[in-house]
Structure 1
Amino acid sequence: MQRILIGLLFTGLFHGTIQAQSRFAIHAYQNGMQHMRTSQWPEAMKDLQWAVKRSPDYSAAWLQLGHLHARLGQCNQGILAYAKAAESSPRAARFAQGKLSMTCGLYQEALNAYDAYLALPNLPEAFMKEAERQRRNAHFSVDAIKVAGNQVIEPLSDSVNRQDANYFPSVSGNGMAMTYTARNHQGEAQSHEDIWLATRQADSQWQSQRLKGFVNSGGNEGAATLSGDQSMIIFTACDRESGYGSCDLYLAKAIGRHRTDSAHAWSYVYGKPVNLGPGVNTAQWESQPSLAADGHSLFFIRAAKQGRGDANIWISYWDGKTFAKAQPLGSQINTPYAESTPFMHADGKSLFFASEGHVGMGNLDLFKSVLQADGSWGEVANLGSPINGPEDDFGMAVNPNGAIAYMSRGKLGHETSTSQGAIAIHRFELPASLVASPVHWVVIHAMDAQSREPLPQATWTLYQHDGFSYNASSAHLGASFEISLPSGAFMGLNVMAQGYNLASLQFDMPDHLDFDVIHYSVFLDPLVESSHFILENILFAHDESTLLSSSIEEIDHVADWLRANPQVIIRLEGHTDNVGSHAYNVTLSQSRADVVKEALVQRGIAANRLMSEGFAENQPLESNETADGRSKNRRTEIFILSTANGR
C-alpha cells in the first residue's frame, strides 16, 4: 500500500514567496525540488538546507524540507521544519505538521496542529474534512495512551523476520505452523513476494523455509490462509495467465507432508493451484484471504487496483461445489477508506481486521467486531494501545485458544528498515476484553479395533445438535481428521470405512483446558456376522418412542452405511433401564427399535434388510443403581445378522 505524503501538492501555494528570496536560495530550492522528483534524498536535503540557511524565512523551502524529513522518518526535524514554514504560511504547514505528528506517535502535537489548521479561514472543503477526521484520530489516540494496556508486543525471531518485509501471518489450527509473506529475501537478485512456512519446534522457537510445492513461482505470491488442518491453502498470486485481473485468489491442496522436529508440526507440500473463479475473482484486485474454520466462508479484500484507498472486505460462501458470488460486508465494517487483512477466528464469530477509516491511532489500526445471532456485525472496537500505534498494524491472526495473537507491524512504503526489516511479524497476548471465544483443535484418529493399525480411507461426519455439520475424508492425509471446536460443544461423530462397522460416538468438549490440542482415537470393528455396535446419537423423548431432532443426522449416516454395504442384514435392538415394569419396558424398547427401522425404510433401505426387537432391561451394560449407569443402558444397537459373504 502506497503512502502519498503531502509534498509537491503545496508548491503552488508558495510561488509568491519565492520571488522575495535571494537568487542563491531560489537556485538551491529549485535544485532540491529536482532531486526530490528523482528520489535523490541526500542531494535534496543538502540543497533545501542551503536554501533556508541563505533565506531563513523561505517558507516553501521549509515546507519541502519538512516533507523530506517526513519521508525519511525523521520526526523531530520534520516537525521543526513545518513549524518554521507555518510562521508565514500556516495553511499547508499546519496540515502537514499534524499528519507527521500522527505518523510519529506525537498525538498531542498532532491535535494541536489540527486545531491550529482548523482555526484558519477559507479552508478547502476536502482538506477541512480530512483535518477533522484526523483530529478525531488524534483525540482518540491521546486518550488511548492514557489507558494503554501492559501487553508486550515482541517480534518473532530472525528465523521468521529475516527478510526485508515479513507480513500476513496465517496460523494452523493446532498453532504449530504459520505461513507468511516475505519480500526481498537476502541473497535474491530480484525483489518479489513469496509464501514461507514456519513451524514451531519442541523448544517453542520457529523455523522457517520457503513453501515447497507448486504455489510459489517467479512472480508475486503472498497473503495466504491455511485451512485448519493444513490440507488446503488459499493465496494471492498476481499477473498469472489464468487470472481475471491484476491479482487473484488461488487454491492449492496438499499432496504430501512430513514431520518436523516438533511432535505436532507438519511441513506440507502443495499441488498445482487453481483459480477460485468468477465468484471471487474479477478484473479488480483481490487479495488477503481468510478462510473460516468451517471452510464455508471466505473473507478477502477487493479494490479497484492495488494501493487504492477503496479496498473493502468481501465474503464468499462455499455452496458445495464452488465459492459463490462475493458480497461486501457492509457499512458497519467497511468505510470509504481502506480496509485490510480480515481474519475470522476459529470461533466463527470474532472478526479481526485492519482499517484506515475507523477512528484509530494513525495509518492502519487493528479492530474487532463480533458476528451477532441475527447475522449483523457488532460494534467495531479498536484494539487500543499498545497493540495499535503510529505505525501500520495489520495482518492479525489469533490462535484457537483466543488469547495468543500475531500481527504485522511496520511502515508500509517506508524508505528505511530496521534490523529485522521494514515490516516484521510480532506476537502478543490479547487483553481479556478482546479475547475471542476459546476453541480447541481436535485430532481424531481412525484405527482398526483389532490390529490398532490406522485406516487411511476413513470418512467422518462431525455434528452439533444446533445443526452444524462437518464432513471430511482422510484421503491424502492419513487416518486422522482435524477440526477446531468450541468449548462446551456437545458433539456427535460418525466414522465409516469400507469393511468395518459404523462407529458412532458422542462427546462433550470441555469448557476449559490447559492445552489446545485434543486427540481422540476411534476404533472400528471389522464388519462380521454377530458383531454389534451402539448408535450413541439416537435419542428419544423421555419415556417415549419419539425421536429427538438431533437423531436425524445419525439415522442419515446409518442409511449411508447400509447403502455402502448392500449385502448386510441387521437387527435394530432397543434397550431400556430397569425403571418401570418389565412389560412396559418391553413395549417401549420394541417401539423405539421400530421407529428407527421405519426411519431407515423412509430413506430407501429395503425393509427385508431390517429386523427390530426390544430387549427391555434384560441386557444392561452397567449397573442400574446409578443415574449414569441407567443412562448408558438406555440405547439403540445394531446387530449384524448377515454380511452375505459369510464373514
Structure 2
Amino acid sequence: MKNFQIILTFTFSLFIFIVTLSSSKCDAQNYHNLNTATKKALKYYADGKDLLNAQKDAEAIKPFEQAVTEDPVFIDAWLMLGELYNENQEYEKGKKAFETSFSLKPDARSSAYYFVAESYWNLNDYENTIKALKKYLAFQNLPPEWIESSKHILMNAIFAKEAMKHPVPFNPIHLSDSVNTKYQEAFPTLTADENTLVFMRRDPAGKDWNEDFYISHFNKDHWTNARNMGDALNSIYQDGAMSLTNLGNEMYFASDRKGGFGTQDIYYSQKKNNQWTYPENLGATINSVSWESQPSISADGKTLYFVSSRSGGYGGSDIYMSVKDAKGLWPKPVNLGPTINTKFEDQSPFIHSDGQTLYFSSKGHPGMGGADIFYSRLDSVGNWGEPINMGYPINTKNDELSFTVSLDGKKVFYSSEKVKGDLDLYAFDMPESAKPKPVTYLKGIISNVTTNEFLEASVQLIDLESGNIINSFSSVATTGEYLISIPSGKNYAFNVSKKGFLFHSENFSLADHNPTEPYQLNIQLQPVKTGESVVLKNIFFETNSFELKKESTVELDKLVQLLKENAAMKIEIGGHTDNVGSDESNQKLSENRAKAVNDYLVQAGIVATRLTYKGYGKTKPIATNDTEDGRSRNRRTEFTVTSMQ
C-alpha cells in the first residue's frame, strides 16, 4: 500500500467514509447486504465497525471475517475486509476479498475497483491493476482527487508492465565495509578523478541520530577506511546531501543548523591549507523560509542546482537552478519548469560535467511507483528534453535517491537498501543509453619555473569555435593544484595566466574523437622578462596559407591582453615551418604568417613600434621532422619578449 499512499495520502480510518450499499432490495439478488444479511453476520459486522470507530483497524479484521464465514454472500463485509487486508498489507487476501465481492455484484461500489487495483499493484500484477483502474475511471461522479490519483497510478502501471518486460543491465556492487557500516550511508559525491568519495553517515550520537560527513580515498584497488571530516564541517545538527567541485576543494551541502533561513539551508565551505573553512550560508536568495537541500554544483562552479519546497513551485518539492553572476553572487534561483518538475516530489538533482545531462529523482513522471531516477538532456537552445526513466531494475517501487555519476559516465554511485536491507553505498554500470556526453579531465600543478613556488593562476577552457569560456577558475594557492573537466565533441584552447607571468596555452582537439585516458600536465609559468618565449598553440592557418582561421582569435586576444597589461613589453613574433617543401617557400610562408599575427595585434590597438616579426622557415625545429607529430610541432607561431623597457 506504500506506493498508493505516495500518490494519494490517506489512512484507513480517513479513507473509509463508509459507503454502504443501497438498503433497498434488488431484483434477482445473489448477495446479501446490510438489509438482508443474517442477524449473526450483522452482529459481527457491527462489532467490526465499532473497532474501526475506535481506530483499532487491525483488530477489526476478525469480526468481519466472522461475518463472511457466517454469511458467505454478505457483500458489505467482503468489501470491508478487502480494504482492511490492504491496510494491513495482506494484499493477496485483499485481492480475493474484492474479487469475491465482484462475483456477487460487480458494480456494488465504485471505490472497490480503486482498492483492488491497490491489491494488484502491490502484488506486481500490473495487467489487472490497469484493468481495475480503467473500470474505476468509467464510473460517474468520482471525487476529483481520486480521479487524479487513479490516472497517475494507471500511468505508472502501464510503464511498469512494459519496463519489467525489458529490464536494463544492473549489477550493483557493494562499496565494501571500509565505507559501509551497520549504520546508514547515503548521498555519495565524487571528485572528477574518482579518487575521493564523500558521503553522509547517520551515526548514533546520544539519544539522537546525527548525520555527518565522511571521506574515503581510492587506493590502488580499494576504498580506504572512511573517516569523519571533523568539526569544521560537521555539527550537532543534521548535515548531509552534499556536492563536491571537481577538484574536491569546495563543497556545497544542506544542514538544519541554527541560524538558517528555513527548516534546512544550503551552505558552502572551501578547503584551505588542508582545512575546511567554517561553512557559509548561501543567503536569502538561495535559501528561503522553506526547505532547501540536495545541491549539485556544475563542473565550472558557476551553476547551482538544488531542491526546494518554497511556494510558487509545481509540487511538494521542485528542482531549481541559480547561475553565479560576475561579482560571484548567487542571484534568485529559477524553477526548471514543468518538463522537469511535477505536482509530486522532484529531487536529488545531479548535473553531469558534460553540462548537458541532468539526472534526478521523481515521483511524478511515469515510473515504477516510488521515486525513480530519470535523466534529461539540454538542447542547443537551452531547453530540457523530456525526462527518460532509467528503467527496471535500477528503479523499483522503492525510492531511488542520492546518487552521483562518474566523470566518464560509466559508473553510478548511489545509496540503496534493496540489496542488503539497510542503507549502504553501491556502484553500478551506467546503461549505454543513459550515459552522458563523454568527458575527460586535465589535472596537474601550476608553479613558478624560476622558484618552483606554487601559484594561484587563472585557468580557462575555451571553445575555439564559439569563443565561449567553458570553464574558468583558479588553481589552489597553497598547492598549485588544478583539475578541469573537458567535454568531448569540440576543439578547445586551454589557457593558464597570472599577472607578472607569460601565459601558457595548450590545444585539445576533441571534435572527432573521445580520449580514453585523462590528461595530466604540470605547468611552470615563466615570469615576464626579456628573452622568454611562448609557443602560441592555438594559432591556426589555412593549409599552405597565411590566412588566420577564426579559431585563432581566442589566443590572439590573450596575447593582446598580455601586451596591454605590460605596457613596456616589446615582442618579436616568429613563424616556423617543418622541412616539407623548398627553403624559399617555407621562409616566405613563415614570414607571412608572422606578419598576419603582427597585423592582428596592430588592429587590436597595440602600437606597431612594440612589435617585430620574422619568418624562420625550417631553421629552428623543436622536434624531429621524421614523424607527422614532430612536423606538426615544428609548424608553429611563437613570440619572444625582446624588451621590457
- TM-score bracket for the superposition, by shorter chain length: 0.7 to 0.9
Question: After the TM superposition, which of the residue ranges 79-88 and 372-381 deviates more from structure 2?
Answer: 79-88
Question: Does 2:368 correspond to 1:361?
Answer: yes
| Cα distance, 1:541 vs structure 2 | 3.6
- Taking only aligned residues, the RMSD between alpha carbons, in angstroms, comes to 3.8
Question: Does 2:64 correspond to 1:52?
Answer: yes
- Residue correspondence of structure 1 range 435-584 to structure 2 within 5 A: 435-447=435-447, 449=449, 453=452, 455-466=454-465, 467-469=467-469, 470-476=471-477, 478-487=479-488, 489-496=490-497, 500-508=501-509, 511-512=513-514, 515=517, 517-525=518-526, 527-562=528-563, 568-577=569-578
Q: In the TM superposition, what whole-angstrom CA distance separates every residue of 1:156-210 from its partner, at most 9, and x where no partner exists?
A: 4455444664433322211223333444x23542135444434334333464334
User: Given residue 309 of structure 2, which amino acid in structure 1 is its aligned partner?
Assistant: A
| Structure 2 partner of 1:383 | 390
Q: Secondary structure at the match of 1:299?
A: strand
| Structure 2 partner of 1:190 | 208
| Structure 2 partner of 1:621 | 622
Question: Does 2:99 correspond to 1:98?
Answer: no
| Cα distance, 1:241 vs structure 2 | 2.3
User: Given residue 440 of structure 2, which amino acid in structure 1 is its aligned partner?
Assistant: H
| Structure 1 partner of 2:217 | 199
- Going from structure 1 to structure 2, the CA distance change for 1:82 and 1:212 (only over 3 Å counts) comes to farther
| Cα distance, 1:384 vs structure 2 | 1.2
| Cα distance, 1:387 vs structure 2 | 0.9
Distance 2:217 2:97 in 1: 47
User: Given residue 67 of structure 2, which amino acid in structure 1 is its aligned partner?
Assistant: S
| Structure 2 partner of 1:254 | 271
- Going from structure 1 to structure 2, the CA distance change for 1:65 and 1:595 (only over 3 Å counts) comes to same
- Residue correspondence of structure 1 range 278-297 to structure 2 within 5 A: 278-297=284-303
| Cα distance, 1:519 vs structure 2 | 1.7
| Structure 2 partner of 1:633 | 634
Question: Does 2:411 correspond to 1:404?
Answer: yes
Q: Secondary structure at the match of 1:298?
A: strand
Q: In the TM superposition, what whole-angstrom CA distance separates every residue of 1:552-572 from its partner, at most 9, and x where no partner exists?
A: 332333344446656544322
Distance 2:557 2:289 in 1: 43
Distance 1:406 1:535 in 2: 41
Question: Does 2:242 correspond to 1:224?
Answer: yes
- Going from structure 1 to structure 2, the CA distance change for 1:172 and 1:66 (only over 3 Å counts) comes to farther
Q: Secondary structure at the match of 1:132?
A: helix
Q: Secondary structure at the match of 2:129?
A: helix
- Going from structure 1 to structure 2, the CA distance change for 1:94 and 1:307 (only over 3 Å counts) comes to farther
| Cα distance, 1:546 vs structure 2 | 4.0
Distance 1:442 1:33 in 2: 68
| Cα distance, 1:481 vs structure 2 | 0.9
Q: Secondary structure at the match of 2:366?
A: coil
Distance 2:612 2:621 in 1: 21
| Cα distance, 1:545 vs structure 2 | 4.2
User: Where does structure 1 lack aligned partners over 5 or more consecutive residues?
Assistant: 37-43, 258-268, 412-417
Q: Secondary structure at the match of 2:88?
A: helix
Q: Does the 8 Å contact 1:570/1:640 carry over to 2? A: yes
Question: After the TM superposition, which of the residue ranges 608-617 and 169-178 deviates more from structure 2?
Answer: 608-617
- Could you tell me which of 281, 284, 306 is aligned with 1:275? 281
Q: Secondary structure at the match of 1:230?
A: coil
| Cα distance, 1:397 vs structure 2 | 1.8
Question: Does 2:375 correspond to 1:339?
Answer: no
Distance 1:150 1:586 in 2: 60
| Structure 2 partner of 1:241 | 259
- Going from structure 1 to structure 2, the CA distance change for 1:48 and 1:138 (only over 3 Å counts) comes to same
| Cα distance, 1:5 vs structure 2 | 4.0
User: Given residue 613 of structure 1, which amino acid in structure 2 is its aligned partner?
Assistant: K
**Higher RCO (C-alpha 8 Å, min separation 6):** 1
Q: In the TM superposition, what whole-angstrom CA distance separates every residue of 1:506-546 from its partner, at most 9, and x where no partner exists?
A: 2445945555x432222444555433231212223444444
| Cα distance, 1:285 vs structure 2 | 2.9
| Structure 2 partner of 1:128 | 147
| Structure 2 partner of 1:299 | 305
- Going from structure 1 to structure 2, the CA distance change for 1:81 and 1:569 (only over 3 Å counts) comes to farther
- Could you tell me which of 10, 13, 29 is aligned with 1:8? 13
Distance 1:628 1:117 in 2: 72
Q: Does the 8 Å contact 2:476/2:482 carry over to 1? A: no
| Cα distance, 1:92 vs structure 2 | 3.7
Q: Does the 8 Å contact 2:82/2:93 carry over to 1? A: no
Distance 1:35 1:155 in 2: 43
- Going from structure 1 to structure 2, the CA distance change for 1:588 and 1:565 (only over 3 Å counts) comes to same
Distance 1:26 1:113 in 2: 29
User: Given residue 317 of structure 2, which amino acid in structure 1 is its aligned partner?
Assistant: A
Q: Secondary structure at the match of 1:436?
A: coil
- Going from structure 1 to structure 2, the CA distance change for 1:255 and 1:66 (only over 3 Å counts) comes to farther
- Could you tell me which of 77, 83, 88 is aligned with 1:69? 88
| Cα distance, 1:404 vs structure 2 | 1.0
Question: After the TM superposition, which of the residue ranges 472-481 and 150-159 deviates more from structure 2?
Answer: 150-159
User: Given residue 13 of structure 1, which amino acid in structure 2 is its aligned partner?
Assistant: I
| Structure 1 partner of 2:29 | none
Q: Does the 8 Å contact 2:216/2:223 carry over to 1? A: no
| Structure 2 partner of 1:426 | 426
Question: Does 2:197 correspond to 1:178?
Answer: yes
Q: Secondary structure at the match of 1:554?
A: helix
User: Given residue 296 of structure 2, which amino acid in structure 1 is its aligned partner?
Assistant: S
Question: Does 2:334 correspond to 1:317?
Answer: no
Q: In the TM superposition, what whole-angstrom CA distance separates every residue of 1:123-146 from its partner, at most 9, and x where no partner exists?
A: 333313321331222122112111
Q: In the TM superposition, what whole-angstrom CA distance separates every residue of 1:599-638 from its partner, at most 9, and x where no partner exists?
A: 4456665655444333344433346676555433332222
Distance 1:182 1:332 in 2: 33
With normalisation by structure 1, the TM-score equals: 0.82
Q: Does the 8 Å contact 2:12/2:84 carry over to 1? A: no
| Structure 2 partner of 1:415 | none
Distance 2:236 2:450 in 1: 50
Distance 1:225 1:204 in 2: 22
| Cα distance, 1:405 vs structure 2 | 0.8
- Going from structure 1 to structure 2, the CA distance change for 1:143 and 1:60 (only over 3 Å counts) comes to closer
| Structure 1 partner of 2:71 | none
Count of matched residue pairs? 611
Question: After the TM superposition, which of the residue ranges 354-363 and 574-583 deviates more from structure 2?
Answer: 574-583
- Going from structure 1 to structure 2, the CA distance change for 1:204 and 1:490 (only over 3 Å counts) comes to farther
Q: In the TM superposition, what whole-angstrom CA distance separates every residue of 1:345-385 from its partner, at most 9, and x where no partner exists?
A: 12221221221221111121111222112222233221111
Question: Does 2:393 correspond to 1:374?
Answer: no
Distance 1:383 1:232 in 2: 29
User: Given residue 379 of structure 1, which amino acid in structure 2 is its aligned partner?
Assistant: E
- Going from structure 1 to structure 2, the CA distance change for 1:242 and 1:134 (only over 3 Å counts) comes to closer
Q: Does the 8 Å contact 1:623/1:630 carry over to 2? A: yes
With normalisation by structure 2, the TM-score equals: 0.82
User: Where does structure 2 lack aligned partners over 5 or more consecutive residues?
Assistant: 22-32, 69-73
Distance 2:314 2:239 in 1: 19
Q: In the TM superposition, what whole-angstrom CA distance separates every residue of 1:41-62 from its partner, at most 9, and x where no partner exists?
A: xxx53x2344334434645753
- Going from structure 1 to structure 2, the CA distance change for 1:602 and 1:308 (only over 3 Å counts) comes to closer
